[in-house]
Chains A and B, each alone.
Chain A
Amino acid sequence: MKPLHYLTLILLILALVIALVPQNTTRPYKLTAAQLLSEIRTGTQFISPDEVADKIIQKDPSIQLIDVRNPREFDMFSLPGAINVPLQDILSEGNTDILNQGTRMNIFYSNGSTEANEAWLLTRQLGYQNNYVLQGGLNFWLETILNPTKPGSVISNDEIARYDFRKAASMALGGGSVSAIAPASAGSASAPKPGVVPVKKKKKASGGC
């Protein structure tokens, strides 16, 4: 037999098999309850305010801040460059393009982190990626970025550096002037600090001839 005949035979057999078996649809990208629980427990969805502040100051085009509070609250105060997608509209058709995409890093925020987390849970369960939550919400943002408190007397270099960064960020992002606006709905006392795991950002695959 000529090589071409071998090739014909092998390809035809393989193609016949693949044409006759039903398509494998058992692994659509959705999370089981257990997987979701493990993601929540490790807190991979959280991004620290420092990281977000840094990205805003650097005018990083890869982030999209999404305010999930209602439009009235959004008009009163929002982070630079944020768009408003109220939580109740999160499933509406018009928002799919914003929430389900592979290029930008969406960061949800609300006053605390509850509503933002709810938005993240919903989108995550739909199988969307690249959606994250601002750790501690706007209240924690005000506390850490806009009105940073000076660390105590015995401090490490890291803490000094972080404080310096926050002071600088506060100036760049108009700190002090907005402290009164933060609505107290989510308990502005001191937002709990969820554990933050460094976020791995997906890079886009590329290739060519």
Chain B
Amino acid sequence: MGPLAVNDIISSNTNFFLAFVIGIGFGFVLEQSGFSSSRKLAGLFYGYDMVVLKVFFTGGVTAMLGLLFFSLFGWVDLNMVYVNPTFLTSAIVGGLVMGVGFIMGGFCPGTSFCGAAIGKLDAMVFIVGLFIGVYFFAFGYPMFETMYKSANMGSPKISTMLDISDGVFALILVIVALGMFYVSEWVEKKFPQKEY
């Protein structure tokens, strides 16, 4: 509940409570959409189920258009929106670790808790692995620190780098996303899920 908590409109306890409620709602929707199934998630890598790609791209594109329209109407000052700074090296290494873990385990961190909540053993094992990773990183932090903090690019925007307006970049991204949707429809037909 970003702006409410940051500006002390609601207390941090209320914030935690709302986060708890929203978290349960989020988990419920994830589960109902089939995201607690590692087969569905891993389907992305084998081509028979591209729903993960579609969901994340729809989410991204919707949020992007929403923020741009809010800014257009003067409801949101985009300069005030917090953007995580980009550390290029750790983003790439972390992305690889996350991707390998995803394809091996069949879950991403959020969906593993979702799976564990409905009693899936593989999700529980995944969570154990997740915590081993967390401890390994935390205790080995001095080892990773240089790499972790290298190539700090601040909060760059691709539109600024390409010297185009945010709106034009949004249009390009929407076209790319839509292209991706049609390609994934085709891929799903081409590589149907094998029955085991």
**Residues of A participating in the B interface, judged by any CB pair closer than 8 Å:** 4, 7-8, 11-12, 14-16, 18-24, 26-29, 102, 200, 202-205, 207, 209
Contact = CB atoms under 8 A, between A and B. Distances in A.
Contacts, number: 74
Interface stretch (B4-12, B31-39, B114-122): B4-12
Contacts of B177: 11
Interface stretch (B126-134, B135-143, B162-170): B162-170
B77 A29 contact: yes
Most interface-central of A4, A7, A19, A28 (chain B CB within 10 A):
A19
A14 B6 contact: no
B109 interface: yes
Contacts of B82: 102, 204-205
Contact of B72 (A12, A21, A28): A21
Contacts of A204: 6, 82
Contacts of A7: 58, 178, 181
Contacts of A29: 77, 79-80
Interface string B29-69: 00000000000000000000000000000100100010011
A71 B78 CA distance: 39
Contacts of A18: 65, 68-69, 72, 166-167, 170-171
B185 A23 contact: no
B178 A200 contact: no
B74 A20 contact: no
19 contacts: A7-B181, A8-B178, A11-B177, A12-B175, A12-B178, A14-B69, A14-B174, A15-B65, A18-B69, A18-B72, A19-B167, A19-B168, A19-B171, A23-B167, A28-B79, A200-B8, A203-B5, A204-B82, A205-B6
Given A15-B173, A203-B6, 5 more contacts: A4-B185, A7-B181, A18-B69, A19-B170, A200-B8
Nearest to A203: B6
A16 B182 contact: no
B108 A23 contact: no
B165 A23 contact: yes
A4 B167 contact: no
Nearest to B77: A27
B193 interface: no
A19 B166 CA distance: 8
Interface string B105-116: 000111000000
B77 A21 contact: no
B72 A11 contact: no
Interface string B1-24: 010011110000000000000000
